């Protein structure tokens, strides 16, 4: 039987693939119109190549990262590839993920993306969704909120982060060539990060039903 984590990756992959057109449309406004196509190509390959029965979470995440590195093609390949490989490093050998593990994974992911992309929050990137999401998750954990609530806060914050990217100009990536004209459009990378977090939350809610 397919492991839980495989099923979770499957949910993430299917949601990314289902949003191929949407992400590409967002990217055609401010980038090179390939984010959705690239991410869908990457995750199609991920779903084909992942060992379905593997239960070691870090093995699944590392494999996901490696496949994204070689199949996505654009800047989101090395960025998401690094993100998944960093996440793998935070849960080495584990077969279950607690909220604390989730927090550690997100911390590692954000550190990896900052290092690789030389980016900070406020530059219209994935970080504008991921950093607020991480902070909200952290706050929820510290307040002793239930996992459902923590994940809800996390997704809410990521969503607000994506909205925020509409108000700022891009200084990283292809969108930075547009300068002021990038204002008014939401960032495709922040959006695919939000889709990922929402898929994780939806998967969790499905499990506890």
- Give the residues lining the site for another protein (CB under 8 A): 38, 66, 69-75, 77-79, 81-82, 116-117, 173-174
Residue 70 C-beta: closest distance to another protein, Å: 4
Residue 73 C-beta: closest distance to another protein, Å: 2
Q: Are 172 and 123 in contact (CB under 8 A)?
A: yes
Nearer to another protein, 66 or 202 (CB): 66
Nearer to another protein, 71 or 159 (CB): 71
Residue 184 gets which letter from DSSP?
A: T
Nearer to another protein, 132 or 173 (CB): 173
CA pair distance 130, 30, nearest whole angstrom: 20
Q: How many CB atoms lie within 10 A of CB 87?
A: 25
Residue 81 C-beta: closest distance to another protein, Å: 6
Residue 176 C-beta: closest distance to another protein, Å: 10
CA pair distance 171, 152, nearest whole angstrom: 30
Nearer to another protein, 3 or 192 (CB): 192
Q: Are 80 and 43 in contact (CB under 8 A)?
A: no
Residue with tokens 């654009």: 74
CA pair distance 12, 2, nearest whole angstrom: 15
């Amino acid at each position: 039987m397919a492991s839980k984590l495989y099923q979770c990756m499957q949910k993430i992959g299917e949601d990314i693939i289902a949003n191929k057109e949407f992400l590409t449309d967002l990217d055609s406004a401010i980038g090179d119109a390939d984010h959705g196509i690239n991410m869908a190509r990457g995750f199609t390959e991920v779903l084909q190549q992942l060992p379905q029965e593997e239960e070691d979470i870090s093995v699944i995440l590392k494999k996901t990262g490696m496949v994204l590195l070689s199949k996505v093609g654009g800047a989101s390949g090395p960025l998401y590839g690094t993100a998944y490989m960093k996440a793998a490093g935070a849960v080495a050998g584990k077969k279950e993920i607690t909220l604390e593990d989730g927090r550690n994974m997100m911390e590692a992911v954000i550190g990896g993306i900052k290092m690789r992309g030389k980016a900070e929050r406020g530059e219209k990137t994935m970080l504008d969704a991921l950093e607020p999401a991480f902070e909200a998750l952290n706050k929820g954990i510290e307040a002793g909120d239930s996992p459902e609530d923590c994940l809800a806060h996390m997704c809410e914050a990521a969503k607000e982060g994506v909205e925020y990217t509409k108000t700022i100009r891009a200084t990283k990536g292809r969108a930075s060539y547009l300068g002021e004209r990038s204002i008014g459009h939401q960032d495709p990378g922040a959006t695919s990060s939000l889709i990922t977090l929402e898929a994780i939350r939806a998967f969790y809610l499905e499990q506890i039903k």
